[in-house]
Amino acid sequence: MKILILHGPNLNLLGTREPEVYGSLTLDEINNKLIELGKELGAEVKCLQSNHEGALIDALHDARTWASGVVFNPGGYTHTSVALRDAVSAIQIPVIEVHLSNVYAREEFRHTSLISAVCKGKITGLGWKSYALALRALMEE
């Protein structure tokens, strides 16, 4: 089984970006944990991050050809991007939306997600474990 872990804008700055909100792990540290968990569960995990909406759309389209599922943190695009929602909706593989922070405990504009309704499910607020739980769920698909 192959799973794509897809990170959206600003997540490349994890570790130094508002650590009180997003934790102190860097993106590489999170990715390594997920690759290790994947090995334990028998999944090949590929991790990708982009700050660009179009590149995230391309990655979702491409995942259709090789992945059995996607764990997706769309970052700030969660709250604004019709194009990313359409991309998730267009591919036939399950996508789970994840967030490190609890978006519902934060500013009101973060309470709206254009992505959630087209995802298999959503996990928010558990730090890097949001990704880990989503990965486990996809493995049980």
Residues forming contacts to ligand DQA in the complex (CB under 6 A) are 10, 73, 75-76, 78, 99-101, 103, 110
Which of 76/121 has CB closer to ligand DQA? 76
Which of 7/46 has CB closer to ligand DQA? 7
CB of 70 to ligand DQA, least distance (A): 15
CB of 42 to ligand DQA, least distance (A): 26
CB of 139 to ligand DQA, least distance (A): 21
Catalytically annotated residue among 22, 104, 111, 131: 22
Catalytically annotated residue among 7, 52, 77, 99: 99
Q: Quick one: which H or E segment has residue 3?
A: strand 2-7
- Classify 108 as helix, strand or coil: helix
Single-letter amino acid, residue 35:
I
* Eight-class DSSP state of 7: E
- For 33-100, give the DSSP string: HHHHHHHHHT-EEEEEE-S-HHHHHHHHHHHHHH-SEEEEE-GGGGGT-HHHHHHHHHSSS-EEEEES
Which of 51/68 has CB closer to ligand DQA? 51
CB of 69 to ligand DQA, least distance (A): 19
111 is catalytic: no
Query: In angstroms, rounded to a whole number, what is the distance separating the alpha carbons of residues 92 and 69?
Result: 9
104 is catalytic: no
Which of 93/103 has CB closer to ligand DQA? 103
Mention every residue, 6+ apart, whose C-beta is less than 8 A from residue 7: 27, 47, 48, 49, 50, 73, 75
> Which residues are part of the catalytic machinery?
22, 99
